[in-house]
Amino acid sequence: MSEALRFEILGPQRAWYADRPLDLGPGKQRAVLAVLLLAAGRPVPTGQIVDAVWPEEPPANGPNVVQKYVAGLRRVLEPDRSPRTPAQVLTLTDAGYVLRIPPEAVDAVRFERGVRRARQWQAAGRTEDALAEVTGALERWQGEPFTGFTGAYFDAARHRLVELRAVALETRTELELASGRHGELVGRLVELVAEFPVRERLRHQLMLALHRGGRQAEALAAYRDFADLLREEYGIEPGEALQDLHRRILRSDPTLTLPVPPVSPASPALPAPPARSGPPASSAPSAPTSVPAPRAGGTPDGTGLPDGSTSAEPEAAALQPTPAPIPDATGPAAGPAPTPSATGPAPAAAPVPPAAPGWAAGPVGPLTPVPHALLVAMNQPADTTADRRAPGWVRLAATLAGTATVLVSFGSLTWAVVLGYALWRRSWRLALAGIGYFLLVFSVFVLAVSSPETEEISDGEAIYLIVAMGTCWLLGTAHVVLLNPTLWAAVGGLFWTGRQRTDEQRRLRREQARYLLHHYPAARVDLRIGRPDLLRTYDDGGLVDVNAVPDPVLATLPGLTVDQRRQVAVDRWLRGPYGSLEELAGRCHLPPAAAETLRDVLLFLPPEPPPVRHS
């Protein structure tokens, strides 16, 4: 019976028995079914159903109401069952109600598995197979899920599925770019950027597609528009990957064009990875390969860049920094494995870790050891590692010149100095402040000109002149001085408590650790980042690699109850590693508030491959 049932939640909620559509009943009954579908094959406690379906005003007799809707669902899902025959599809256990259907009966499960298989095949170099798989998965999307259902439970599930669709769209675009289809991608990418305006990976792909299509000016304009959006709305800069692409487009970097595939003997086809929800098993290649640069953080893309960007954008293989040349006549690292030379076999390399959601697939160069000088610098908590501002001497000179201008002019030129800073930083807030100073100075000038020379000004006018010029002179001087980031940070530090200062230092260390993971993948093993259970000397600010730490560490995660921590550990053991914070929240049914407390401390790195055994 259950094998003939099919359910759709990626859009309007619908169900079929064989080819016959089913009437799922009233809205609350549909909501109960949606909760059970999200946990198909697993028991759902009655209290959890009540909290999800009635988040604000649960009924006084909640279990009885749930039982009534469950009875209605049983009649719909098993129309041929007699009233006295035990239910086979929707049953009651000691742990709660269980919807006994194959996971593949729900379109959301097929969608998620299709996206994962596509990313696995992408990591294995099977571009066409990966493109066909992710395209098929996206065709199952019929619209936003759970429309009409409110509450934290459905909001978290909806956000997770929408995020997964965004990752699928980015993956498809990345595959099509790798296949040389940039000419037909621009129009679709413009629509996707409008739908997801702050996802940097889509902006990255749009700029690359425009550049490869010979539209360099439009690619630079796309970057400028996105940078202005981030500065005005969030007060941040674009991520390091996007800035690097912008610089490379400016200098017409030839490596941004599609590489010419090398001519080499045909190699046996790779076997398809098993269709399972977890990551594929690692394999040990026999030739030197490259390891994807890790992306740490809490988004499905696994971002966690030090600039605090709101979305992640793993670089495509062609956009990675060119590694040091390796003596090899067979072509780039992206080609087939080189054959052993006459001098001896190629040395065995570390296995490639499997691709996970938010991790760049494809070769990106060999593991680079962490420079010792960088580690020494990062042990100093004073500054972040990725400072993209002007050099310190330029900021100091600007502060001295601006302050002197304000003091010498008695505040009459404060507006010019602040507007200059506004143009330099492209800040509309500073522009408004500069206009305010100008209006004060202009009002003083008008008042002075309009007053007859033979008459004395009134007391009110005198007070206004003093206040206006004092504001432009004294307050303007302080304003210009505090526009220096170093001085502003020093003044702000005077008002911090010891706890706030410690928290800020730990935040900076977490950003530094994520920077290391992004640029030096070897730091994961060398420094044991995210592993508080291991003996180490590097301070990563309290990061936790949720896929690697033992259960006792999971029992200390902040912001979660004891039951929620236990659920995270059990779900990881049953269903495999997590790819993003949204996936963790969806699988463990965490409320959004509890999930947000974990965003700053969790890493979602793929499991480390087992050591290679040499015979």
Return the minimum-mean-pLDDT range out of 27-36, 290-299, 470-479.
290-299
Q: What is the pLDDT averaged over residues 123-127?
A: 88
The residues facing 6 across adjacent strands are: 16
Most confident of 101-105, 371-375, 380-384: 101-105
Using the predicted structure, report yes or no on whether residue 269 has a pLDDT greater than 50.
no
Mean pLDDT of the chain: 76
Q: What are phi and psi of 17, to 5 degrees?
A: -115, 110
Band the pLDDT of 492: cuts 50, 70, 90.
Answer: low
Q: What share of the chain is helix, strand, coil (3-state, %, to 5)?
A: 50, 5, 45
pLDDT at res. 50: 92
Whether 81 contacts 87, CB under 8 Å: yes
What pTM did the predictor assign? Answer: 0.47
pLDDT, greater one: 308 or 2: 2
Phi, psi of 14 (to 5 degrees): -140, 160
pLDDT at 336 > cutoff 50: no
DSSP string, 459-475: HHHHHHHHHHHHIIIII
d(CA 365, CA 379) in angstroms, rounded, equals 27
Angle, alpha carbons 427-432-435 (nearest 5°): 125
Please compute, for residue 478, the number of CA atoms within 13 A of its CA located in the half-sphere on the CB side.
6
Judge whether residue 120 has pLDDT over 60.
Answer: yes
DSSP codes joined into one string, 534-559 = S--S---SS-EETTTS-HHHHTT-TT
Pick 221 or 350 by higher pLDDT.
221
CB 25 within 8 A of CB 7: no
Residue 535: what pLDDT?
83
For the chain, percent of residues with pLDDT exceeding 90: 24
Res 370: pLDDT: 57
DSSP three-state, residue 413? coil
Strand partners, 603: 545
Give the confidence band of 316 by pLDDT, cuts at 50, 70, 90: very low
Q: CA-CA distance, 153 to 592, in Å (whole number)?
A: 8
Instruction: Give the C-alpha distances (Å, rounded to integers) separating 552 from 88, 543, 556, 584.
Output: 38, 15, 7, 18
200-212 helix and 240-250 helix, angle to the nearest 10 degrees: 10
**In the predicted model, what is the mean pLDDT of residues 197-206?**
92
> What average pLDDT does range 571-584 have in this prediction?
87
* Across 103-120, average pLDDT: 91
Q: Are strands 14-17 and 5-8 parallel, antiparallel or unpaired?
A: antiparallel
d(CA 117, CA 355): 10
Q: CA nearest 328: which of 315, 313, 339?
A: 339
Asked if pLDDT for residue 32 goes beyond 90, the answer is yes
pLDDT at 297 over 50: no
**301 band by pLDDT with thresholds 50, 70 and 90:** very low
